[in-house]
Structure 1
Amino acid sequence: MAAQHVEIVEVGPRDGLQNEETPLPPARKVELIERLIGAGARRIEAVSFVDPRRVPQMAGAEEVMAGVPRRADVSYIGLALNRRGLDRALEAGVDEVNVAIPATDGFCRRNQGCSVAEMTDAFAGIAAAAAEAGMPVSATVSTAFGCPFDGETDPERVAEVARRAAEAGAAEVALADTIGAGVPGQVADVIGRVRPVVGEARLRCHFHNTRNTGYANAHTAVAHGVTVLDASVGGFGGCPFAPGATGNIATEDLAFQLDRSGLHTGVDAAETARTGMWLGSVLGAAPTALLGRAGEFPAVRG
């Protein structure tokens, strides 16, 4: 009997880089993506079509998309927050578009300059335009487990944002712990509230390890039927609009955990760890991932 497959969406080239002090030129980002593909990544959040004046680390999205290898088995995701971002994504040739919809007004106003209600309405327009262009679109409900400005997030509001996104055409709805405040019991509760209201849309989860709960949250999500998880090579990342936010759960550490639990990811944890160490040297920052330091287990002996 084949092992259950858990898909890891590699978000390192976008979420992993957006909060780092050292911006990478497009050629380096393409090299990172090539290394990740070599390590088994098949869905990659490659670029963000946001204003580079606000997030300079995301400059050069079009150049990155012009340089990435085009393969039938690799899907590139571009983040867009408005119709202009969608237009750029379509022109650049991404395979999927992801739109972030915060669940809290405090974060939404600081990150996207509007209320949650306004962003939810905007998503409906983006999703309709994407559908007309034949572009798959997903929605990430950010601050789903806590907000740096509003505090606790009402789980019913998360479910309502997710419901409206699915009704507007999101093929996939991601629940994002933007600041790493969530705990396993909370993850189980939110998934239980969201799943009944999103219809056929797939559920995805996006965790940060800010308070050392990210991997436990990922395990809980899988135990509750989620089969798509975001992770960032090396554990790099963090939101520039969330004070104190630290990195995502690391792709290599997550792949190790899932593979050792008898699940299939298709991601080579050891090769991803080597890429994480390489990225750390390029950025001049130490990865938070541990597999690159601890090594494989059982150890590979020559």
Structure 2
Amino acid sequence: MVCDKFLTFNNGVKMPALGIGTWQAPEKEVEEALNLALEAGYRHIDCAPVYLNEGVIGRVLKSWIDSGKITREELFITTKLPPPALIPEAVETVLKKSLADLQLEYVDLYLIHVPFGIKFDEAKGEFIKDDGGVVPDMTTDHVAVWKSMEAVLEKGLTKSIGVSNFNMKQIQRILDNCSVQPANLQIEHHVYLQQKDLINFCKAKGITVTAYAPLGSKGIATLNKAAGVDRQLPDLMDIEEVKSIAAAHGKTPAQILLRWIIERGLSAIPKSTNPERLKQNLNIFDFKLSAEEVEKLNALDANIRVCDFAFFKGVERHPEFPFAS
């Protein structure tokens, strides 16, 4: 079952409303999951250099395209400009590296991954650190970087450009200084973090929104623990209201959470490597939530952010840290 619901960008490009995330998926795991996902009907794949698996994703995509099982035009591939490359002169170089790894001539969407730059030691292949954690690159200039994003769009290396983890003020700065408006904003979005003002702002500006961590993220809890951050994260699948609505529809809690996002006019990119859950997550287009059910889910908003980048200690010192109070 291929997703037949799309979001249309301000440039006319169409993106499947449901995709698959690939963050924190090791090579063998992502290879198996991606093959299963493509077999199940996924065509929207969310990638990034910092996920350290674009090479294996590229091998899978090439295999499917070369075999004739799929065409490049049927796929929608997103990748991102990583934090160490948040400088104008790195935009094209880094995108071309992603294209080489993905074995593609272009991506469908290129996003600025985060609004803050981080200093990186190329020789050692690691982030530069001090006593405060990673060292922010205080020279970050969104307007200058966006001009380079527009340049790779003009060269045909990507079909659309956008941002991720940006707040309203940061997006408005780009809108005030751009020739090409962002087509998409990717943010954490789920019933406990609904970000209604930000989403309404984007809709008013003609910017589509993609929800990452739509089902929460156990991977972030693992990263937090490794970084010495002890913070209890909510289990979205164990919310009583969600379980009750799921039972009423004969669906899983995950299917309810994803359907709620799709009905809001957003796209979602849940990550799973489980064959059954991959199929279940895609099987959300044969039912609708009632107005009462939507109201119950809307009422769950608690401003609980799962991905606050606590595992990247030090980035909160950056003047462009997006979640500063």
Give the shorter-chain TM-score range: 0.5 to 0.7
- Deviations 1:149-193 (CA, angstroms, capped at 9, x unpaired): xxxxxx53354367469x45356312311xx78735x43222112
**For the structure 1 residues 234 and 120, does the alpha-carbon distance in structure 2 shift closer, same or farther, using more than 3 Å as the test?**
farther
Match of 2:265, SS state, is coil
- Deviations 1:81-125 (CA, angstroms, capped at 9, x unpaired): 33222122444314424223425679xx98995459525532330
2:287 aligned residue? 260
1:41 aligned residue? 42
- Deviations 1:169-223 (CA, angstroms, capped at 9, x unpaired): 356312311xx78735x432221122223x4x43333234143459687555444
Quote the Cα distance in structure 1 between the aligned partners of 2:175 and 2:285: 29
Task: Letter of the 1:225 partner, please give it.
Answer: G
* Aligned partner of 1:124 among 138, 147, 151: 147
Matches within 5 A, 1:137-176: 137-142=160-165, 155-157=167-169, 159-160=171-172, 163=175, 167=178, 169=180, 172-176=183-187
**For the structure 1 residues 162 and 38, does the alpha-carbon distance in structure 2 shift closer, same or farther, using more than 3 Å as the test?**
farther
Match of 2:111, SS state, is strand
Q: Percent identity?
A: 8
- Deviations 1:34-55 (CA, angstroms, capped at 9, x unpaired): 321211112223x4345xxxx5
Match of 2:197, SS state, is helix
Is 1:233 the counterpart of 2:254 in the alignment?
A: no
Matches within 5 A, 1:267-282: none
1:67 aligned residue? 63
* Aligned partner of 2:110 among 98, 106, 130: 98
* Aligned partner of 1:136 among 159, 173, 191: 159
2:240 aligned residue? none
Matches within 5 A, 1:164-243: 167=178, 169=180, 172-177=183-188, 183=192, 186-197=194-205, 199=206, 201-208=207-214, 209-210=216-217, 211-213=234-236, 221-226=261-266, 228-234=267-273
Structure 2 unpaired stretches of 5+: 7-15, 83-90, 119-126, 128-132, 218-233, 238-253, 291-325
- Deviations 1:131-155 (CA, angstroms, capped at 9, x unpaired): 222521332422x5xxxxxxxxxx5
**For the structure 1 residues 112 and 76, does the alpha-carbon distance in structure 2 shift closer, same or farther, using more than 3 Å as the test?**
farther
1:76 aligned residue? 77
> How many residues align structurally?
215
**For the structure 1 residues 61 and 224, does the alpha-carbon distance in structure 2 shift closer, same or farther, using more than 3 Å as the test?**
closer
Residue 225 of structure 1: CA displacement?
Answer: 3.1
Quote the Cα distance in structure 1 between the aligned partners of 2:176 and 2:43: 28
Is 1:86 the counterpart of 2:95 in the alignment?
A: yes
Quote the Cα distance in structure 1 between the aligned partners of 2:140 and 2:176: 10
Quote the Cα distance in structure 1 between the aligned partners of 2:285 and 2:236: 16
CA contact (8 A) 1:48 1:58 kept: yes
**For the structure 1 residues 78 and 56, does the alpha-carbon distance in structure 2 shift closer, same or farther, using more than 3 Å as the test?**
closer
Quote the Cα distance in structure 2 between the aligned partners of 1:235 and 1:116: 42
TM-score normalised by L of structure 1: 0.53
CA contact (8 A) 2:175 2:181 kept: no
Greater C-alpha Rg? 2
Quote the Cα distance in structure 2 between the aligned partners of 1:41 and 1:114: 37
Match of 1:83, SS state, is helix
Structure 1 unpaired stretches of 5+: 18-22, 145-154, 237-249, 264-302
CA contact (8 A) 2:272 2:278 kept: yes
CA contact (8 A) 1:233 1:251 kept: yes
**For the structure 1 residues 111 and 100, does the alpha-carbon distance in structure 2 shift closer, same or farther, using more than 3 Å as the test?**
farther
CA contact (8 A) 2:202 2:208 kept: no
Cα RMSD of the aligned pairs, angstroms, is 4.3
